[in-house]
């Protein structure tokens, strides 16, 4: 029969493990967000910081577009179904998963 102390110790150990795995999950989530942001920063030269184009910009911003629209356009650029001056080359540099993450990122930005 376990003593009260042993049971408290076991409970404490279980709680510590739970807390550790929660912290790890949050860490991975944060790392993923940071990664997506840094990839999104490569779009900023032309589409503006966080996809917000300047008023006089010739390249359209990405903020305000739906994630599905961005994914569809990137696919069309990649496959050559939409003619482009530059995006057909850029789109080829990203996997479908990265494209989806980028699209979700820009779609989550407030205009
Ligand atoms: C060198 C400049 C440049 C960079 C960098 C760039 N784009 Fe573009 N983007 C353009 C131009 C120019 C267009 C218009 C189509 C064309 O001529 O290629 C465009 C169009 C688009 C469109 C279509 C918008 C619409 O509503 O039809 C999407 C989506 C897009 N870009 C996403 C991205 C993403 C995501 C990145 C970063 C991974 C990126 N672009 C990086 C220049 C750029």
Q: Indicate the domain borders of the chain.
A: 4-107
- Residue 63 contacts residue 111 (beta carbons within 8 Å): yes
- Residue 44 contacts residue 62 (beta carbons within 8 Å): no
Give tens-digit pLDDT for 14-62: 666 666 666 677 788 899 999 999 999 999 999 999 999 999 999 999 9
Total number of residues shown for the chain: 111
Q: Does the beta carbon of 90 lie inside 6 Å of ligand 1?
A: yes
pTM of the model: 0.83
The CATH number of domain 4-107, selected from 1.10.150.530, 1.10.760.10, 1.10.150.120, 3.30.530.20: 1.10.760.10
How confident is the model at residue 11, as a pLDDT?
A: 64
How close is the Cα of 27 to the center of ligand 1, in Å? Answer: 31
Q: Does the beta carbon of 85 lie inside 6 Å of ligand 1?
A: yes
């Amino acid at each position: 029969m376990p003593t009260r102390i042993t049971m408290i110790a076991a409970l404490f150990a279980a709680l510590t493990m739970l807390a550790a795995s929660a912290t790890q999950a949050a860490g991975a989530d944060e790392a993923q967000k940071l990664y997506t942001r840094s990839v999104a920063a490569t779009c900023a030269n032309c589409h503006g910081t966080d996809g917000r184009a300047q008023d006089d910009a010739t390249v359209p911003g990405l903020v305000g577009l739906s994630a599905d629209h961005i994914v569809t356009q990137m696919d069309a650029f990649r496959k050559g179904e939409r003619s482009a001056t530059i995006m057909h080359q850029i789109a080829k540099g990203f996997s479908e998963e990265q494209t989806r993450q980028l699209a979700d990122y820009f779609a989550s930005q407030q205009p």
